[in-house]
């Protein structure tokens, strides 16, 4: 196959046609289909210097140093190979990104059982943890405590209400997830939709780690509107530990309306 000697490709391939440099003839149309300069390249019918400038600009646009005009077309062929490698690499990256999108943006990292301090303890941590199903053993030589009370405790957790699939005293499971494209997450009380440009992960109702007559406080967390129960542990046994109570709104300093006295508070978890 030969090309028209007055065309751009013929001057790149040489005056003897394209047979001796078939790679350039095959590859450059593919390259032109990838680039925004396609129309410019096909419409150039001026001097060889003008065509050389177009080629140099094309190479610069994809971060490849241009040839010196005096060395065209000989220095162009290795650069076309480099361009093809770059395009193949970008194609591979796009395939990987498409696979991630097809598999969903949210990936499950681990599941376990929710745990924390006993609701009646005066000390210990206040945060809730997701304990794994398969814990590793602690060091065989743990640090010694100065006396018998200088250590913390962690308990499993229970629902203190019955709702949908769960019953009071059912043990509470948990999951830790990450959003592939998110850098931050937020729990918004009183809402079930996320702000614009945020992604909703789940919505539900606000919970507390203690009830309002307890002597100690507890952490507010958002429970999924379709809660589940842990299948291991002492199901429906009243061992307490870290407990989950639903949260009601109280009018006064909390404006009513829009809030309603004695109504449970909604919540949503969003990522961005």
pLDDT tens track for 53-69: 655 565 555 555 555 55
Q: Is 130 found in the same domain as 36?
A: no
For the stretch 118-174, pLDDT in tens is 877 777 778 899 999 888 887 776 666 666 667 788 899 998 888 888 888 888 999
> In terms of domains, do 158 and 235 share one?
yes
What is the residue range of 203's domain? 104-134+153-272
- 77 and 126 both lie in a single domain: no
Regarding whether 110 and 34 lie in a shared domain, the answer is no
Q: Are residues 109 and 49 in the same domain?
A: no
pLDDT category at 29 given cuts 50, 70, 90 is: very low
Residues 250 and 232 in one domain: yes
Tell how far CA 172 is from the center of its chain: 25
Average pLDDT over residues 18-29: 39
Do both 227 and 166 map to the same domain? yes
Residue 142 in any domain: the answer is no
CA nearest neighbour of 267 among 255, 243, 249:
249
Q: What is the value of pTM for the model shown?
A: 0.56
Task: Label residue 238 by pLDDT band (50, 70, 90).
Answer: confident
pLDDT tens per residue, range 77-98: 666 777 777 787 787 778 777 6
Extended beta strands in the chain, E state:
106-116, 129-132, 155-159, 173-179, 185-189, 199-208, 221-224, 242-246, 266-271
d(CA 199, CA 264): 24
Q: Same domain for 193 and 272?
A: yes
pLDDT above 50 (res 175): yes
Question: Whole-angstrom Cα distance, residue 90 to residue 213?
Answer: 61
233 and 108 within one domain: yes
Q: What angle do CA 83, 87, 93 make, to 5 degrees?
A: 145
pLDDT at 94: 80
**What's the pLDDT at 57?**
62
Q: What is the pLDDT of residue 35?
A: 39
- 41 with 113, same domain: the answer is no
User: So what's the pLDDT on residue 228?
Assistant: 87
Residue 250 scores a pLDDT above 70: yes
| 34-52 confidence digits (pLDDT tens) | 434 444 444 444 444 555 5
Q: Which domain-ending residue is among 102, 124, 142?
A: 102
Is there a single domain that holds both residue 36 and residue 123? no
Q: Are 185 and 178 in contact (CB under 8 A)?
A: no
Q: How many CB atoms lie under 10 A from the CB of residue 227? A: 19
Please count the structural domains in the chain.
2
- Mean pLDDT, residues 228-242 taken together: 73
Q: What is the pLDDT of residue 63?
A: 56
80 token code pair: 């076309």
């Amino acid at each position: 196959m030969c090309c028209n000697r007055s065309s751009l490709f013929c001057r790149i391939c040489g005056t003897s046609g394209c047979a001796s440099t078939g790679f350039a003839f095959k590859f450059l149309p593919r390259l032109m289909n990838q680039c925004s300069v396609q129309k410019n390249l096909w419409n150039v019918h001026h001097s060889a210097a003008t065509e050389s400038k177009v080629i140099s600009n094309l190479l610069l646009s994809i971060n490849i140093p241009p040839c010196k005009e005096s060395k065209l077309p000989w220095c162009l062929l290795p650069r076309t190979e480099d361009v093809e490698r770059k395009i193949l690499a970008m194609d591979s990256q796009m395939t990987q990104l498409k696979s991630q999108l097809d598999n969903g943006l949210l990936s499950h990292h681990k599941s376990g059982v929710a745990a924390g301090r006993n609701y009646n303890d005066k000390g210990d941590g206040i945060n809730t943890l997701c304990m794994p199903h398969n814990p590793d053993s602690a060091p065989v030589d743990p640090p010694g405590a100065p006396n018998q009370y200088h250590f913390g405790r962690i308990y499993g957790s229970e629902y203190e209400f019955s709702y949908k699939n769960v019953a009071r005293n059912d043990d509470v499971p948990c999951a830790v997830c990450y959003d592939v494209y998110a850098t931050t997450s937020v729990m918004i009380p009183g809402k079930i939709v996320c702000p614009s440009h945020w992604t909703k992960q789940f919505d539900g109702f606000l919970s507390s780690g203690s009830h309002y007559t307890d002597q100690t406080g507890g952490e507010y967390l958002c429970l999924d509107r379709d809660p589940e129960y842990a299948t291991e542990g002492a199901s429906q046994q009243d061992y307490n530990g870290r407990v989950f109570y639903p949260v009601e709104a109280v009018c006064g300093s909390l404006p009513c309306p829009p809030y309603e006295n004695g109504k449970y508070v909604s919540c949503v978890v969003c990522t961005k």
